[in-house]
Structure 1
Amino acid sequence: MKIRVCLKDMVPYSPGKLKPGAIKLASNENPLGMSPMAADALKQSIGSVSLYPDGGCVKLKNALSKKHNLASANICVGNGSDEVLVLIAGAYIEPGDNAVTSQTTFSEYTFATKLFGGTMKYAPMADGCFQLDAIASLIDTKTKLVFLCNPNNPTGTSFSNDELRAFMKKVPKDTLIVLDEAYREYVDRSDFPDSISLLNEYDNVIILRTFSKIYGLAGLRVGYGIARPEIITDMEKTRAPFNVNSLAQAAACAALDDTDFVNKSRAVNREGKTYLYASFDKLGLKYYKTDANFILVYINQDCVAAFEKMMALGVTIRPLRSFGLNDAIRVTIGTPEQNEFFVRCLEKVLGK
């Protein structure tokens, strides 16, 4: 069989290593687990798995509509925000088109673009931050999509409301801006973009959110996009039926109402951030201040070798060689106990 040309150079996804019993601080998951209200919803819904799920995610869309003060026509639900990215690319990318993003950002933007025969252009990053002017300068007549991760994975940095609005004025109306806010709930800065309000002013923006991070439902795969109805309709044309299972829908609906769990998760993250900053300062390591639930830190040695040593000690982190950073790792902010164990292991690896 002859594979499509655009797939020839693509490499199948390779899951990270995980040592049984190791503390996992590699994938930006919630260290507190899932929302208790979501757990209860799962127990109550288990008897429905012999039936097909709601193919339109009606109840979940209604809950999201209420939360964001939008119509359900503004929302598309996917099997994780990864699928939503593929739906977007499937709706708008054709062979010969391109998309634009930054260096050192989430790799799924490139995957989704190449999957449909497009190419990706990368703007340089400076000190861990997006350079929005540089991104705008790469847009041409073939640019269908611009991907912005805010806060950015893996650097944890973010840009402000004013910076985003200035950027949007430079983007042609026929280029769709994909604003990925997977870590939005962890942000504390007061000038973070009010992205949903942009829908009142711009036709060419879609906001992505997920239940995988602060809501603790990574294993159930639920994400969603928010956009003008005409964009949602285009995406729905590329969506497979029954793409979000019934347990995931039930858990997501319940998690939306669990404000106590979200607030506790934010508090634990703030506490862990402060502890890890102090620990890295003590070790003399460079890192980026984060607006997410992870930290990028430079360890002054080969990151893959450090990853192997850390895993042998009982903790997994993310080496960032695939991002072109040979001496950096990304660590999820865990519970106090997990953070302390991680620092002890890191000290051993660094010979401190």
Structure 2
Amino acid sequence: MTIKVAAHIAELVPYPPGKPIEELEREYGISGSIKLASNENGLGPSPRAVKAIAESLSNLHRYPDGSCYYLARALARRLEVDPRRLVFGNGSNEIIGLLAAAFLGPGDEVITSHPTFLVYQNVVQAQGGVNRVVPLLDMRHDLEAMAAQINEQTRMIFLDNPNNPTGTVFTAAEFEDFLSRVPRRVIVVLDEAYVDFVEPELRLDARQYLDGQVPVVALRTFSKAYGLAGLRVGYGLMHEELAAYLHRVRQPFNVNSPAQIGALAALEDEEHYRLTLETTRREKARLRQAVEKLGCRTFASQANFFLIDVGGDGKALYEHLLRQGVIVRPMQAYGYPQYIRITPGRPDENDRFLRSLEQSLKELAYGR
């Protein structure tokens, strides 16, 4: 083809999503696989959400509510904020894209960490922006080094808290010290996709930074703790002036009707939410202890996942587990070639993972 494509687009590397169960079973001719790879809710969606969605399906011929009116008001009440401070998207990924579309131009610079959620850097590159990437320090955001990267071209900074893939967090004091070094013209994006799983005493309250001198945007999602990853619904929490600009570049009807209805029902199902957090916390601790008995090193995490140093080639172990119908996430793309990342599933799935891991470690001569 002779179509001219800008270099920053031609050089983009697509985001590598976790392997779907259906793809695995097609490739290997197996069934009954399990997936502990994509930080999904092991308990599944709220039964109330499933029921509400099923009851709404006869209205699929109607366009969705472009303003997410009922979801916005319910969430605003829960968060005790003005609904004008909420912008909803097709997953919080879309909010990342909207921020880039509204506030970045060619040559503008954005500071991120490595490793972190890979979408940040892709979105910046797609806008013709420049990524300034700072390595993590001891698996945590190096806020000091990130602040030192700020210059006249800096327009935005992305901080995922907890970090993906390490699950580490920074404290409110550390964040406030960092903000004191950020110019008022720079937007700080605080990605809190996994905030629900953070121990309460370690959580930041993003709301208290929305009216500060430095513009702060908090990103959250219904994909993790609320179990609605397949519906793609997330939101940004920000000053209403920033929100107004995002609405100018947001496509109409960007959140579909089942997603809005499911998210509203899930928000109201406090029992399922509580059970999700309790089960994740319990199973994560159990899995870490069992994995370490197999001779691998695990890392503490404030998210619904954790890293495992398998003592060998993480991708080879990943592929070995695939043949047993177990999907985990290899960490080579994140700069950790000996690591895998797992998300606790149901207890029976976790038991199966441990059996498969033990077999793979033995056959590959990894671990102890």
Aligned runs of 1:291-330 on 2, under 5 Å? 291-330=302-341
Is the CA contact 1:187–1:291 (under 8 Å) kept in the aligned structure 2? yes
Q: Mind listing any 5+ residue stretches in structure 2 that lack a counterpart? A: 26-31, 363-367
The residue number in structure 2 matching 1:51 is: 62
Superposed CA offset, 1:9-63 (max 9, x none)? 0123454433233100010000110011111110121111100001111111111
Q: Distance in 1 between the 2:358 and 2:200 partners?
A: 31
The ranges of structure 1 where at least 4 consecutive aligned residues each deviate by more than 4 angstroms after the TM superposition are: none
The residue number in structure 1 matching 2:240 is: 229
Matched, 1:38 2:40: no
The SS at the match of 1:67 is helix
Q: Distance in 2 between the 1:88 and 1:270 partners?
A: 33
Q: Distance in 2 between the 1:105 and 1:87 partners?
A: 19
The one of 1, 7, 10 aligned to 2:9 = 7
Is the CA contact 1:95–1:118 (under 8 Å) kept in the aligned structure 2? yes
The SS at the match of 2:227 is coil
Deviation of residue 286 (structure 1)? Answer: 2.1
Amino acid at match of 1:34: P
Q: Distance in 1 between the 2:89 and 2:207 partners?
A: 18
Deviation of residue 343 (structure 1)? Answer: 1.3
The SS at the match of 1:219 is helix
Is the CA contact 1:128–1:288 (under 8 Å) kept in the aligned structure 2? no
Q: Distance in 2 between the 1:252 and 1:262 partners?
A: 12
Deviation of residue 231 (structure 1)? Answer: 0.4
Superposed CA offset, 1:244-294 (max 9, x none)? 100100111111111100100011011111111211321232222011110
Is the CA contact 2:13–2:122 (under 8 Å) kept in the aligned structure 1? no
Amino acid at match of 1:9: E
Amino acid at match of 2:356: C
The residue number in structure 2 matching 1:119 is: 130
Amino acid at match of 2:353: F
The residue number in structure 2 matching 1:165 is: 176
The one of 267, 272, 277 aligned to 1:256 = 267
Matched, 1:63 2:40: no
Compared with structure 1, are the counterparts of its residues 179 and 10 closer, same or farther at alpha carbon in structure 2 (3 Å cutoff)? same
Deviation of residue 217 (structure 1)? Answer: 0.4
Aligned-residue CA RMSD (Å):
1.3
The residue number in structure 2 matching 1:280 is: 291
Q: Distance in 2 between the 1:94 and 1:288 partners?
A: 38
The SS at the match of 2:202 is coil
Which TM-score applies when normalising by structure 2? 0.93
Q: Mind listing any 5+ residue stretches in structure 1 that lack a counterpart? A: none
Matched, 1:246 2:232: no
Superposed CA offset, 1:291-331 (max 9, x none)? 11101111111111111100111210000111111111100
Q: Distance in 2 between the 1:14 and 1:282 partners?
A: 31
The residue number in structure 1 matching 2:365 is: none
Q: Distance in 1 between the 2:169 and 2:204 partners?
A: 10
Deviation of residue 212 (structure 1)? Answer: 0.3
Matched, 1:338 2:349: yes
The one of 110, 129, 141 aligned to 2:121 = 110
Is the CA contact 2:76–2:82 (under 8 Å) kept in the aligned structure 1? yes
Q: Distance in 2 between the 1:202 and 1:33 partners?
A: 40
Superposed CA offset, 1:46-95 (max 9, x none)? 11110000111111111111111111110100000111100001111100
Is the CA contact 2:37–2:341 (under 8 Å) kept in the aligned structure 1? yes
Matched, 1:138 2:149: yes
Compared with structure 1, are the counterparts of its residues 93 and 164 closer, same or farther at alpha carbon in structure 2 (3 Å cutoff)? same
Which TM-score applies when normalising by structure 1? 0.97
Compared with structure 1, are the counterparts of its residues 155 and 14 closer, same or farther at alpha carbon in structure 2 (3 Å cutoff)? closer
